[in-house]
Amino acid sequence: MNAKAAVESIVGDRGLVAYGLLLLVLHVLGVLFLYDVVAEYDNVPHFWFGYVLSEYSSKAAYSVGLQSRLASGFRNSGVTIRLRQADFLVRLIGFLLIGGLLWEGLEIALSRYFGFCPDSFFSFPITLRNIDGALDVSMGVLGATVAFIITIRKTDRGRNVAH
């Protein structure tokens, strides 16, 4: 795969860059003002993180033809999936790998260096005392799903206008 093309596809898209900057602003506002005052605000950046990573994953994967290769790979195994389904898989896997495992894993690994208590997402069983990490990832998955649905609706609307 061409990593350079994937990165360029994201960096070259003003909308995607703006999404990332909005995510940064939401998080900074949370750190400076809102996380301690309104605990539920934490859901907003996590939802937007899922949305943004979904868009980044999809755009980068399209730039290297991953969705079409994924769809044809399934076809070769006897399972038929459409490009839309392949895109949804790419979006979810992209978010779960980057947002779920990498981010939450780094939060746990680096927390002692920055002096904060990490979410206990990897503690089982999940209870009301340690649900924050699972809720963070769930909000991200919801954001990724909403990004996919919005993209599908835009695509369908564009097809209807063209006819």
Q: How do residues 69-119 score in pLDDT, each as one tens digit?
A: 888 876 667 667 788 899 999 999 999 988 877 776 777 777 778 777 665
Token pair 């995510």 is at which residue?
A: 23
Q: What does the alpha-carbon distance between residue 25 and residue 147 come to, in Å, rounded to a whole number?
A: 19
Token pair 């979810």 is at which residue?
A: 92
The whole-number average pLDDT for the span 58-68 is 89
Q: Is 162 left (phi over 0), alpha (psi -120 to 50) or beta?
A: alpha
pLDDT of residue 1: 55
Who's near 9: CB < 8 A, 6+ residues apart?
59, 60, 62, 63
SS3 at position 37: coil
Q: Is the pLDDT of residue 2 over 90?
A: no
User: For a pLDDT cut of 90, what percent of the chain falls above it?
Assistant: 36
pLDDT of residue 26: 93
pLDDT of residue 153: 92
Amino acid at 136: D
Who's near 68: CB < 8 A, 6+ residues apart?
83, 86
Per the document, the length of the chain is 163
